[in-house]
Amino acid sequence: MSTLRLGVRTFAPGQYAVMAVVNRTPDSFFDRGATYGFDAAMAAVDRAAAAGADIVDIGGVKAGPGDDVDAREEIRRVAGLVEAVRERHPGLLISVDTWRAEVGEVVARAGAHLLNDTWGGVDPGLASVAARYGTGLVCAHAGRVTPRTRPHRIAYDDVVTDVVGYTVALAEKAERAGVARESILIDPAHDFGKNTFHSLEVSRRLGELVDTGWPVLVAVSNKDFVGESLGGLPVEERHAGTVATLAVSAILGARVFRVHDPASARAALAWISTSGEV
């Protein structure tokens, strides 16, 4: 494993980073708009920092289908919050969940340390933005689908082979564009362009992504595959499944964990670190 560098922070091999989700959206699947307002979003950042988060991941567009949000509105939702978090929590790393280079440009100028491209490089200009501003970049596998869509009956000959090949190619392309190698992560993107079987297979074989040498980010918190695997549990009852999946991911070598409950994630990761499992 290599050292991961984001902003002024470094994470040596064996060190984990907890990434807390803060959605400035009125329709997120998890909190249903509870942190859409600026003050509510900042309060969520404060709680995440107090709970031990290393990174906050600020999103301005719901991942799933919903009302159209253009780049201008996305910028309105996230850029001011990035600036405020940078001033209020100078030691906290700031990620922005966006697939648009136009948005990436604005938030990088505002102080973001990481651009979290969950839709897998649909805007190739985003890597150039990360290179120009010295930010990190998440290279994800979303099954080559259009952002905010759910493909019907998507299929792969071997989902993990597809994930590894696609994310590594994106990471290498980003490095050629000038993004620092130690600031690039790969993300299998559970449930993005995948059904529950695919997401479970990615979890089971996560070590194959880790073996590529690129730091691996996992975003499994309260995902549909967790609920379906546990008999169709609703979002509010997926906490135990989330922590279990996170723990397995850590044992298999994941480095960064995007979660809704950073305190529970930090506690689970601390136990794994001291248990001798990794």
Instruction: State how far the alpha carbon of 8 is from the alpha carbons of 20, 73, 153, 226, in Å.
Output: 18, 30, 43, 34
Residue 255 CA to residue 46 CA, distance in Å, equals 23
Q: How large is the angle between the packed helices 125-133 and 101-110, nearest 10 degrees?
A: 10
Residue located via tokens 């491209």: 117
Task: State how far the Cα of 118 lies from the Cα of 192, in Å rounded to an integer.
Answer: 8
CATH, residue 92:
3.20.20.20
Given a cut of 90, is residue 107 above it in pLDDT?
yes
Q: Per-residue pLDDT for 273 more than 90?
A: no
With bands split at pLDDT 50, 70 and 90, how would you rate the model's confidence at 90?
A: very high
Tens digit of each residue's pLDDT (9 = 90 or more) over 68-82:
999 999 999 999 999
Which residues is 217 bridged to in the sheet?
256
pTM tops 0.75, yes or no:
yes
Please answer whether residues 254 and 273 qualify as being in contact, where contact means their C-beta atoms are separated by less than 8 angstroms. Answer: no
Domain of residue 155, residue span: 4-275
Give the pLDDT of residue 111: 97
175 versus 29: the higher-pLDDT residue is 175
Number of domains in the chain: 1
On the question of pLDDT at 123 being above 50, the answer is yes
Does residue 236 have a pLDDT over 70? yes
Mean per-residue pLDDT, 212-232: 97
Q: How far apart are CA 195 and CA 174, in angstroms?
A: 27
User: Percentage of the chain with pLDDT > 90?
Assistant: 91
Residue 100 in 3-state DSSP? Answer: coil
Q: Average pLDDT in the 223-246 region?
A: 97
275 pLDDT above the threshold of 80:
no
d(CA 74, CA 60): 5
pLDDT in tens, 199-219: 999 999 999 999 999 999 999
Q: What is the DSSP string of 165-218?
A: HHHHHHHHHHHHHT--GGGEEEE--TTTT--HHHHHHHHHTHHHHHTTSS-BEE
Q: Per-residue pLDDT for 250 more than 70?
A: yes
Whole-angstrom Cα distance, residue 189 to residue 72? Answer: 26
Average pLDDT, whole number, for the chain? 95
Question: Residue 278's pLDDT is what?
Answer: 46
What's the pLDDT tens digit per position in 14-64? Answer: 999 999 999 999 988 787 789 999 999 999 999 999 999 999 999 999 998
- How many residues are there in the chain? 278
Confidence tier at 277 by pLDDT (50, 70, 90):
low
